[in-house]
Amino acid sequence: MASITVGAATSLSSSTSIHTKKLHLCSRTSLSERKASFVVVRCGGTKMDDGSNRIGGRADQLVTNAVAAKANTPAAATASKPGHELLLFEALREGLEEEMERDARVCVMGEDVGHYGGSYKVTKGLAEKYGDLRVLDTPIAENSFTGMGIGAAMTGLRPIIEGMNMGFLLLAFNQISNNCGMLHYTSGGQFKIPVVIRGPGGVGRQLGAEHSQRLESYFQSIPGIQMVACSTPYNAKGLMKAAIRSDNPVILFEHVLLYNLKERIPDEEYVLNLEEAEMVRPGEHVTILTYSRMRYHVMQAAKTLVNKGYDPEVIDIRSLKPFDLYTIGNSIKKTHRVLIVEECMRTGGIGASLTAAITENFHDYLDAPIVCLSSQDVPTPYAGTLEEWTVVQPPQIVAAVEQLCR
């Protein structure tokens, strides 16, 4: 079954129409039973001798530059739930602080991460609490301090390297690819590289081309690297803690427009699985795979689709490398149609890799070609209206689902 890839400003024209069987409201029986909702993995971990842990609406209501939809629950009901409310950047900080408190080997390094508190305040207050040696301000030299962090990981520390902007980490591509990803293998297993590389990325609001990079497409081909993308305060904290405890190098992608997203998270400790997707919305008609900020564009579109009679299943893949093919596969066996929505570039992006993986593993379950909506292969314009045209918007998602389900 062929796949169809569509750029952000490219409409689904009749020339690329999808000839499929008539959609049945009752889908086939999947080979393995799916639960109606996603159960998040929470664990405190089992203590090991070395001190580490084992990780177990409507069309006229669509906002083209939406970041997140407002919750439908009343404020009083939300306030009565257990836990505490945090913004996404605060959840990242809480996860980081808990791990620094738990394990003295955890340290942070990067530009302005110390007394300034980081460019988006993820490390605010940590330098005063843990000192300048564990929260280390570095010069503006990404290749140098990234290499230093990888060397520190080789000696037994667990560094978190912050890129002030993910685009700046291109200066450290040699260290990330030839050292971070490969040293465990090239040393014959003598060295582990338990390092976390994190920072803001994605298309912001008029940040210009150099500050609107989506580097997941650059790093996905490096052997030995794991990649995850957070999208809510809950999974931001859980993925941060899991990444720090992992013995593998992990790149944590944070979207610059999601830092002020607020959510109530549990008071008790929890750690998420680095290789597990999240079922955001169960459905029957089409599987929509997405991650990071596009999760909210998809959910905006889902409101319109439900009003039109469609029942989309939305999955936040979260793990960009490796993919959670178990969750993805079970969904495809149920819906038989796949739409991928990403902010990454069309050529060589996460969507392209995901399309290949689905085609190789679940081709026989597809009743229509895979459709992938991606950003256009152009530098992100500074002008706000042009910037919106380069990124997938909710109306395009609605149109794609309508065509898939003909």
Q: Is 211 a residue of the active site? A: yes
> What CATH class has 3-30+278-404?
alpha beta
Q: Which residues pair with 315 in a beta bridge?
A: 279, 289
Per DSSP, 353 falls in state H
The packing angle between helices 325-335 and 350-362, to 10°, is: 70
Same fold, 3-30+278-404 and 83-265: yes
Compute, in degrees rounded to 10, the torsion defined by CA atoms 336, 340, 341, 347.
-160
What distance in Å separates the CA atoms of residue 318 and residue 183, rounded to the nearest whole number? 25
Residue 392 pLDDT: 93
pLDDT tens string, the chain, 406 residues long: the values are 555 555 554 433 333 333 333 333 333 333 333 333 333 333 333 333 344 433 333 233 333 333 333 334 444 444 557 899 999 999 999 999 999 999 999 999 999 999 899 888 999 999 999 999 999 999 999 999 999 999 999 999 999 999 988 889 999 999 999 999 999 999 999 999 999 999 998 888 888 878 888 889 899 999 999 999 999 999 999 999 999 999 999 999 999 999 999 999 999 999 999 999 999 999 999 999 999 999 999 999 999 999 999 999 999 999 999 999 999 999 999 999 999 999 988 898 999 999 999 999 999 999 999 999 999 888 888 888 888 888 999 999 999 999 999 8
Domain coordinates in residue numbering, the chain = 3-30+278-404, 83-265
**Tokens, residue 366:** 């597809």
Active site residue 210: no
Write down the pLDDT at residue 7.
Answer: 57
* Token pair of 65 as six digits: 């530059």
184, 211, 255, 297: which one is catalytic? 211
Strand partners, 345: 375
Pairing outcome for strands 53-54 and 46-47: antiparallel
What's the CATH superfamily of 83-265?
Thiamin diphosphate (ThDP)-binding fold, Pyr/PP domains (3.40.50.970)
In 48-172, beta strands by DSSP E: 53-54, 84-87, 106-110, 135-137, 158-162
DSSP assignment string, 258-298: STT-EEEE-SS-----TT--EEEE--SSEEEEE-TTHHHHH
3-class DSSP string for 193-249: CCCEEEEEECCCCCCCHHHCCCCHHHHCCCCCCEEEECCCHHHHHHHHHHHHHCCCC
